[in-house]
Amino acid sequence: AQKVTQAQTEISVVEKEDVTLDCVYETRDTTYYLFWYKQPPSGELVFLIRRNSFDEQNEISGRYSWNFQKSTSSFNFTITASQVVDSAVYFCALSEVWAGANNLFFGTGTRLTVIP
Amino acid sequence: DSGVTQTPKHLITATGQRVTLRCSPRSGDLSVYWYQQSLDQGLQFLIQYYNGEERAKGNILERFSAQQFPDLHSELNLSSLELGDSALYFCASSVEENEQFFGPGTRLTVL
């Protein structure tokens, strides 16, 4: 069975601090995708990144970076020099691709508050 | 703007009633997904359609049903509504196995 765990329920940081959001997943599949989505106070879900299970390269996009480690089943997300606009709930998700279905299993989310 | 549209944005109704939520996917996306976000259950997958056919089912109640039409828009029908059905309902679309883009959601309140 698949499972995504985001152990950090809430995190508060002061603006310009770096922050890492943890994500640990469980799956029996060898082919899967991992995602991060952002849900700002306005409520929409914004796609941030998708990573497939065969690509363990870390990725950096501006102030965002992601660390995928298959050995520990983790896909952590770091925001460098946080800003108030980063305040949101962040969801990690897993997709197992079988028979054309690729629905997302979400973690419970981490609420990030960036204090000015 | 993700390109996925959902209507209505808000819906307030009474227990026992039936409602229909509508979703238009991004241009070119054949897959449509429905998710429910509630305080106690979090974000849960309900159902997926691909080019008009049901492809996967999640924790969708028997009182709920969905369909995808030839123009690829989708509708989620919720009937015999209960207080616990109050939630934010998201539609998402994707091209095959690629990332899913979410609509703004429909907030359903059952009184």
Residue B55 structure tokens: 């492809």
pLDDT band at A99 (very low <50, low <70, confident <90, very high): low
Q: Which residues of B touch A45 (CB under 8 A)?
A: 90, 92, 102, 105
pLDDT of residue A97: 76
Three-state SS for A115? strand
User: Mean pLDDT over residues A11-17, rounded?
Assistant: 97
pLDDT band at A2 (very low <50, low <70, confident <90, very high): confident
On whether any CB of chain B is under 8 Å from the CB of A48, the answer is no
pLDDT of residue B101: 94
Which residues of chain B have a pLDDT value below 70?
97
In SS3 terms, B39-74 reads as: CCCEEEEEEEEECCEEEEECCCCCCEEEEECCCCCE
Which among A33, A103, A105 has the least Cβ separation from residue B33? A103
Instruction: Pick the residue from chain B with its C-alpha nearest to A97.
Output: B97
Name which of A22, A6, A11 is nearest A82 in CA terms: A11
CB–CB contact A102 B58 (8 Å): no
